[in-house]
Structure 1
Amino acid sequence: MKILVLEGSPHKKGSSNTLAEQFIKGAEEAGHNVKVLDVAHMNIHPCQGCDACGMRGSCVQNDDMQIVEQEMRSADMVAFVSPIYYFGMSAQLKLVIDRFYSFNSSISGKGLKTVLIAAAWDSNPKTLGYLKDHYLGICNYLGFEDCGMILGTGCGTASMTRGTAHMDAAYKLGKSI
């Protein structure tokens, strides 16, 4: 299986990417081909809402979203990776998801499998509830099959994250795919 990991953290060595590393390790050990795109540091612009693409054509913007689109079209699974910022995903990952608009028709019918990997500073499980609902809404709208979530509470820094059970859970999720 080809797995595309979309890392949406502005912190390359941050908590969510630390959890993603464990997921990737498990997935690769299970024999899967994993491609990581650090979308937080790519040249991707917001959707302009111009509707020139008609949800099934080329976007008028010439940026790195073309790379994301190409990789998504060939992927069997996508892992969405993000820290929690104000009870939701990072702006960097949300920007990418908003740009799915131009190729909705090509990804909504392919039965793409997905996982969510998120990290929050505090330990209150309610902190991740809004992101979980948003992610499941995206899955429902685009016909994605949710294959699991790592909702890492108490993961304020990478060192804090490494001391949590979420590390093993991320590895096991990757291994089970």
Structure 2
Amino acid sequence: MKIVMLTGSPHIQGTTALLADEFYAGALEAGHEIVRFDTAQLKIEPCLGCDHCRIISGSCVHEDDMNQILDHLLEAEALVLVTPLYYFGMTAQLKRAVDRFYAINPALLEAPKKVYLISAGADQDPWAMEALVAHYRTICRYLNWEAAGEILALGAGVPRDLEGSEALVKARRMGKA
């Protein structure tokens, strides 16, 4: 299976990076092909809503790192969205990339995918990730993609909070599947 992973944390050695590493390792162990893009480290301009992509057949007005992501995304059978919980949603870095899916919306609607959500946050309230999960599920519903699994690590604000946690085991297992 070809998998695209988009991470959204500005912290390259943060909590969600650790979870992403486990998923990635599990995917490789299972023989999947996986490509990872750390969106906070890339030059991705925000969608302007200018509809240039509709007028010029899928070509965004921005010439930036999003082009390499979109090429892989079209071919992928699965997508993994990895983000720390920032103010009850995904990070701006990841959202910026997701918003740019718009440029190839017609093609994405014809490309079924399994989509996984991996998130961690310092909050411990069970409701803290509800808006993030609703957003993820809405994206899946809109694109006719399968919401295939979620790992939501509450009380995990720094990597050491995950030591010995079930979330790490689940991430590797999810990657293998």
TM-score normalized with structure 1 length: 0.95
Q: How much has 1:168 moved relative to structure 2?
A: 0.7
- Cα deviation code 1:141-169 (max 9, x no counterpart): 01111110111111110111233211111
Structure-2 residue corresponding to 1:30: 30
- Cα deviation code 1:84-121 (max 9, x no counterpart): 00000000000011111110111112111110000111
Structure-2 residue corresponding to 1:12: 12
Does residue 160 in structure 1 map to residue 133 in structure 2? no
After TM superposition, the structure 1 stretch with the greater mean CA deviation from structure 2, 78-87 or 18-27, is: 18-27
Query: Secondary structure of the equivalent of 2:20?
Result: helix
CA-based RMSD of the aligned residues comes to: 1.2
Report 1:38-117 matches (<5 A): 38-54=38-54, 56-117=57-118
Q: Report runs of 4+ in structure 1 exceeding 4 Å deviation.
A: none
Structure-2 residue corresponding to 1:119: 120
Query: Secondary structure of the equivalent of 2:81?
Result: strand
Q: How much has 1:66 moved relative to structure 2?
A: 0.5
Q: Percent identity?
A: 42
AA at the equivalent of 2:132: L
TM-score normalized with structure 2 length: 0.95
Gaps of 5+ in 1: none
After TM superposition, the structure 1 stretch with the greater mean CA deviation from structure 2, 8-17 or 158-167, is: 158-167
Gaps of 5+ in 2: none
